[in-house]
Chain A
Amino acid sequence: MAISFTLNEREVAAEFPPNRLLIDLLRDHFKLKGTKRSCDMEVCGACTVLLNGQPVSSCTTLAADADQGSIVTIEGLSPEAGLSRIQQAFVDHGAAQCGFCTPGFIVAVTDLLSRNPSPSDDEIRHHLRGNLCRCTGYVKILEAVKSLVPPGREGVKAQVKA
């Protein structure tokens, strides 16, 4: 089947059989290798991308679902040069070691902060519960995300964007 969609703000098109998974389209066809495959069963979050603004496990989403919509991968969240503020916070707090889980975390944190710029610790933990990291023990990841919350505003839930 033939589809067209926005990939990291660029218009693209692709043709493939309907059983193609989104992760394979991104990694093999578009050569975007930042999206990782690990558990392959929606548990670890390494393959997280934004589909029409919602985080999904690209390992268990059909590529066909991108048709007429938009996909944002970790590559789309990184500036041309340097790092985004979320990426920089991860570096500054030692929230990445081997880095395999990091793209998924950055995408999930992007989703969290875009809806709730001032999450409490509990809200951060709750949102990231489905992203697994084998290296950091999560404390540093939590610290990195907390550092992005404006001082004195923790837990003040901003309006949820539809």
Chain B
Amino acid sequence: MRPAAFDYLRPTAVAEAVRGISGSDGAFFYAGGTELLLALKMRVLRADRLIDLKRIPQLDRIALSERGELTIGARATHRQIEESALVQQVLPALGRLCSQVANIRVRSVGTIGGNLCFAEPHADPGTFLAALGARLHLVGAQGERMVAADEFVLGEFETARRDDELLSHIVIPAQAGPSAYRRFRHGERPSVGVGVSWRLAKGGRTIETARIRFGALGPRPQAVEALEQALGGVETAKASGRIAELLPHALDALEVISDRHGGADYKRHLAATLLQRCIADAHQAALGGRP
């Protein structure tokens, strides 16, 4: 399999990359290429121009902002995030997530931005970032804007990103409390992914607010409000019991597609199990004082 011919640009600044993509239907940003080149080789996509992002400095930076928010450059690879001492310190669950993605070759060059922008439903980071309340920073010909991770994925392979917009970085809120992500894999990609993050009340024993997202089940990450609300004001040690009462029916509202990863009932069952494990993880994290 070989891709059809295309032009190739190697900009050294974001503005130049955005100029390169504007006004051209068949132009694509090229980060790790682990999705894009596969699609071009199989000829499910056609590009007349690739805009390589690898020579733009800073796009892979992982840092804490002045407000204490974790910012991750869109071009940071899964491996870079997994090995980042800062991520291990402030958001270890994200490091673990990245260490589980694909195989070592995909993790070495595949980027978090490419993963989000491709919006393949069987993916991990988007689910957890939505659970964390992350925001994505987009830069386009008409300026810059922030989009909530929750609003970024619109459907299968479809996002809120305009064609001329480049995802520059992801911002993860500072005050997020304990968090956890778990996934079940069939073959190469996740069948179900569950992300949880809690904000704790003063004292650190009680959940003030909870965010829970289910991924890979339908076209985009989904929330179940009843579950989130049920955890408000509950002690972290009692969260698991509280959820168990609701679980028999709480997941009925999820949109679940039956596919080669399994039937809808089976996936709901997996989602329930993973949710309980995430809650146990988050409780442990709360005890250990580590998110």
Contact = CB atoms under 8 A, between A and B. Distances in A.
Contacts of B103: 42-43, 45, 129-131
Contact of B104 (A43, A65, A108): A108
A94 interface: no
A60 B33 contact: yes
Contacts of A56: 105, 108-109
B102 interface: yes
Interface residues of A, number: 30
A57 B34 CA distance: 9
B19 interface: no
A129 to B, nearest CB: 6
B265 interface: no
B2 A19 contact: yes
A18 B8 contact: yes
A51 to B, nearest CB: 8
B266 interface: no
Contacts of A41: 38, 41
Contacts of A62: 8, 30, 33, 37, 50
A60 B104 contact: no
A64 B50 CA distance: 11
Contacts of A40: 1, 41
Residue with the greatest number of chain A CB neighbours at <10 A, chosen from B1, B4, B5, B109? B109
Interface size classification for chain B: 20 to 34
Contacts of B2: 19, 21, 24
Interface in A96-118: 108, 111
A29 interface: no
A139 interface: no
Contact of A55 (B7, B34, B38, B105): B105
B242 interface: no
A19 B8 CA distance: 8
B52 interface: yes
Given A127-B104, A129-B103, A19 B34 contact: no
B6 A19 contact: yes
B104 A55 contact: yes
A18 B7 contact: yes
A130 B104 contact: yes
Nearest to A127: B104
Residue with the greatest number of chain B CB neighbours at <10 A, chosen from A19, A21, A51, A56? A19
A40 B109 CA distance: 16
Contact of B105 (A17, A18, A130): A130
A54 B5 contact: no
A43 B188 contact: yes
B68 interface: no
Interface string A125-145: 011011100000000000000
A1 B8 contact: yes
Contacts of B41: 40-41, 60
A56 B34 CA distance: 10
Given A60-B34, A60-B37, A17 B106 contact: no
Contacts of A51: 109
Interface in A44-100: 45, 48, 51, 54-57, 60-62, 64-65
Contacts of B156: none
Contacts of B262: none
19 contacts: A18-B8, A19-B2, A19-B5, A19-B40, A24-B2, A41-B41, A42-B38, A43-B103, A55-B104, A57-B105, A60-B33, A60-B38, A61-B33, A62-B33, A62-B37, A130-B102, A130-B103, A130-B105, A131-B103
List the 4 shortest-distance A-B pairs measured between CB atoms, nearest first. Answer: A130-B103, A18-B8, A54-B108, A60-B37
